[in-house]
C-alpha cells in the first residue's frame, strides 16, 4: 500500500538521521561527562533541563494542534493557510513572552534551585530556548505535511555541529559555557536549513498563492480556526506538562534535594534509555498522521497499529530486562568509575520505562490525531501529580533510585490507559495484544535466566557485556519457538533490507 511505503520511507529517513544523532549524542554525552566531571556535567544538564521545561510550556500545545488541523486540511489550501498563519502567530508570541518571563525570573530560579552559578549562563539559556522552540515548531510542520524525511537532514546536521563545536570549545577550556554555545550554534543552524527545506513544500501545497476567493474565505474563517487551534491546544499543553514531569521535573527536584552531582548521575543514566528510544520516536512521528479520521480506511489503521505494537514490544521488552541485569557493566563502560552511583538508578529506571515510553511514542501521537487529546491529558495529569508526590517522598530518602522508582510506578499505568483508549477507538482486540505479550515475556524470561546464570560466573563487570549477543541469540531463538517471532516477521525484515539494497 502507498501509505505503508510512505511510512517506511519517512521512518527510515528519520531513523537514519536519528541514528546519526544518536551516535553524535552518545559520543558527546560520554566525552563531556568524562571531561567535565559530575559537578560541571550536572550544571550543564540543569541548564538543558531549564531550556526544555520553558520550551514545553511556551508551546502551549500549539505545535501539535496546528499539525493535527493542518494535516486534515491539506486538500483545502485556503483553510490550511489560515491554520498556518494563525497557529504560527500565536506560537511565536507565546515563545517571546516566555523568554521575557524567563529572563525576569532568572534570580529567583537560581535561588530556588540553590545554584547561583546558573546566573552566568542565562543569556545562553535564553538563546537556546528560542532555538529549540523554533525547531519544535518546524518539526510539527514537516510532520503535518508528511515530509519528515526532509527534516531528517537538518536534524543530523544539528547533531554533527553540536558534537564538533561543543567538544572543540570544551577542549579549549570553556567548560559549561562552551558546551552551551555548541547547543545554541547547532540549533540555529538546524532551524535555518529546515526553513529553507520547508518553504518549497508549503509552496507546492499552494499555501503561498492567495486568490481573491481564498482571501475572503480566509478572513471569514480566521476566528473559527483561532478558537479551534487554541481550544485543542489546551489538552496538549496538559500532556506536555505531564511529559515535563516525567522527563524534566525529576532533574529539578534532584537538584533541589540533593545537588548537581546527583543531577549528573541521574541525567547520565537516563540518556542511555533516551538514545534507545530514537528509532521508535521516528516511527511514531511518521505513523501518527495516518491515524487522522478519514485519512485512510479503518482496517488499514488497525493493521498499522497492530504491527507497530508487535515490533515495539518484541524489541523493547527484552532490551529493558537485559539493561537491568547488566546495569553495572553498562555504566562502567559508558561513563567510567566516577559515574558508578548511576548504576543503581539505571537498573530501576530502565525496567518498565523503556518499553512503556516506546509504546507511548506511537500511541500518544495516535490519540492526538484521533482527537482524543483531552482523554490523554486527563490520564497524564493524574499520573504526573502522583509522580511529583512520590518524588517528594522518595528522593530525600532513597536519592536518585527513588526518582527512578517513582517514574516506573506512575508512567506505566498511564501507558496502559493509552493502550486501552487506542484499542477501543480503533476496534483492535486487546486479547490478541496480550497473547503476543505473553509469548514475548516467556522468551524474555528464558533470556534473563541465561544472562543471570552466566553473569554470576564472570568476575569482571565489563566482560559481562559479552553476554549481550548471547542473550539476544537466546531470546530470538526462544521467541521463534514460542511463536513471538513469526515467519511473516522474518520475511518483512528481510524484505526491508532487500528493498534498500535495490534502491541503493
Q: How far is CA 82 from CA 113, 203, 207, in A?
A: 42, 14, 9
Residue length, the chain?
A: 504
What is the signed CA dihedral for 470, 473, 476, 482, rounded to 10 degrees?
-90
Q: What is the pLDDT of residues 141-193, one digit of tens each?
A: 887 777 777 777 788 888 899 999 999 999 999 999 999 999 999 999 999 99
CA–CA gap between residue 253 and residue 261 (Å, rounded): 13
Q: Which residues of the chain fall short of a pLDDT of 50? A: 1-3, 211-220, 496-504
The per-residue pLDDT for 182 is: 94
Q: Which grid coordinates are listed for 160?
A: 554533527
Q: Which three cell numbers stand for residue 25?
A: 549524542
User: Domain residue spans in the chain?
Assistant: 2-428
At residue 80, the pLDDT reads: 73
Q: How far is CA 375 from CA 116, 177, 234, 382, 414, in A?
A: 40, 42, 12, 11, 11
Q: How many whole angstroms separate alpha carbon 246 and alpha carbon 241?
A: 9
Please tell me the distance from the alpha carbon of residue 446 to that of residue 465, in angstroms, as a whole number.
18
Taking the C-alpha atoms of residue 17 and residue 190, their distance in angstroms, rounded to an integer, is 13
Q: Are 376 and 421 in contact (CB under 8 A)?
A: yes
State residue 290's pLDDT score.
74
Among the listed residues 62, 245, 242, the one whose alpha carbon sits nearest the alpha carbon of residue 139:
62
For 274-298, give the DSSP string: HHHTHHHHHHHHHHGGGGSTTTS-H
497 vs 400: CA distance, rounded Å: 41
Q: What is the CA radius of gyration of the chain?
A: 23
Task: Please return the burial class of 193, using the count of CB atoms within 10 Å of its CB with bins 0-12, 13-18 and 19+.
Answer: middle
- Extract the C-alpha cell encoding 176: 559549561
Amino acid at each position: 500500500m502507498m501509505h505503508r511505503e510512505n511510512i517506511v520511507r519517512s521512518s527510515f529517513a528519520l531513523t537514519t538521521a536519528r541514528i546519526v544523532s544518536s551516535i553524535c549524542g552518545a559520543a558527546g554525552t560520554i566525552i563531556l561527562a568524562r571531561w567535565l566531571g559530575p559537578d560541571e556535567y550536572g550544571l550543564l544538564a540543569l541548564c538543558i533541563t531549564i531550556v526544555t521545561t520553558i520550551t514545553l510550556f511556551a508551546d502551549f500545545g500549539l505545535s501539535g494542534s496546528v499539525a493535527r488541523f493542518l494535516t486534515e486540511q491539506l486538500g483545502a489550501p485556503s483553510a490550511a493557510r489560515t491554520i498556518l498563519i494563525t497557529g504560527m502567530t500565536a506560537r511565536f508570541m507565546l515563545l517571546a513572552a516566555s523568554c521575557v518571563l524567563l529572563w525576569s525570573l532568572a534570580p529567583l530560579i537560581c535561588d530556588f534551585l540553590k545554584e547561583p552559578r546558573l546566573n552566568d549562563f542565562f543569556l545562553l539559556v535564553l538563546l537556546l530556548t528560542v532555538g529549540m522552540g523554533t525547531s519544535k515548531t518546524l518539526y510539527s510542520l514537516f510532520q503535518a505535511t508528511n515530509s519528515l524525511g526532509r527534516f531528517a537532514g537538518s536534524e543530523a546536521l544539528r547533531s554533527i555541529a553540536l558534537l564538533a563545536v561543543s567538544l572543540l570549545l570544551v577542549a579549549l577550556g570553556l567548560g559549561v559555557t562552551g558546551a552551551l554555545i555548541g547547543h545554541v550554534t547547532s540549533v540555529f543552524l538546524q532551524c535555518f536549513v529546515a526553513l529553507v527545506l520547508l518553504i518549497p513544500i508549503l509552496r507546492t501545497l499552494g499555501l503561498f498563492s492567495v486568490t481573491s476567493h481564498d482571501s475572503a474565505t480566509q478572513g471569514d474563517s480566521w476566528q473559527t480556526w483561532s478558537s479551534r487551534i487554541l481550544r485543542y491546544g489546551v489538552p496538549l499543553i496538559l500532556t506536555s506538562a505531564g511529559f515535563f514531569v516525567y522527563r524534566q521535573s525529576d532533574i529539578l527536584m534532584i537538584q533541589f534535594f540533593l545537588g548537581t552531582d546527583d543531577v549528573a548521575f541521574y541525567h547520565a543514566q537516563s540518556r542511555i534509555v533516551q538514545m534507545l528510544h530514537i528509532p521508535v520516536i521516528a516511527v511514531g512521528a511518521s505513523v501518527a498522521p495516518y491515524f487522522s479520521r478519514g485519512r485512510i480506511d479503518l482496517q488499514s489503521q488497525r493493521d498499522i497499529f497492530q504491527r507497530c505494537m508487535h515490533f515495539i514490544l518484541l524489541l523493547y521488552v527484552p532490551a529493558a530486562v537485559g539493561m537491568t541485569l547488566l546495569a553495572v557493566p553498562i555504566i562502567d563502560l559508558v561513563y567510567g568509575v566516577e559515574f558508578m552511583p548511576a548504576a543503581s538508578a539505571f537498573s530501576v529506571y530502565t525496567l518498565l520505562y523503556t518499553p512503556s515510553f516506546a509504546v507511548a511514542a506511537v500511541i500518544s501521537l495516535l490519540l492526538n490525531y484521533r482527537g482524543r487529546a483531552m482523554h490523554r491529558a486527563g490520564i497524564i495529569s493524574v499520573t504526573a501529580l502522583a509522580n511529583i508526590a512520590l518524588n517528594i517522598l522518595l528522593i530525600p530518602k532513597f536519592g536518585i533510585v527513588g526518582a527512578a522508582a517513582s517514574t516506573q510506578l506512575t508512567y506505566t499505568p498511564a501507558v496502559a490507559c493509552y493502550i486501552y483508549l487506542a484499542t477501543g477507538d480503533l476496534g483492535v482486540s486487546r486479547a490478541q495484544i496480550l497473547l503476543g505479550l505473553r509469548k514475548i515475556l516467556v522468551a524474555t524470561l528464558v533470556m534473563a535466566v541465561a544472562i543471570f546464570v552466566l553473569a554470576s560466573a564472570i568476575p569482571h563487570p565489563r566482560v559481562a557485556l559479552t553476554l549481550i549477543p548471547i542473550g539476544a541469540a537466546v531470546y530470538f531463538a526462544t521467541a521463534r519457538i514460542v511463536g513471538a517471532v513469526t515467519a511473516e516477521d522474518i520475511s518483512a525484515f528481510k524484505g526491508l533490507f532487500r528493498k534498500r539494497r535495490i534502491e541503493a
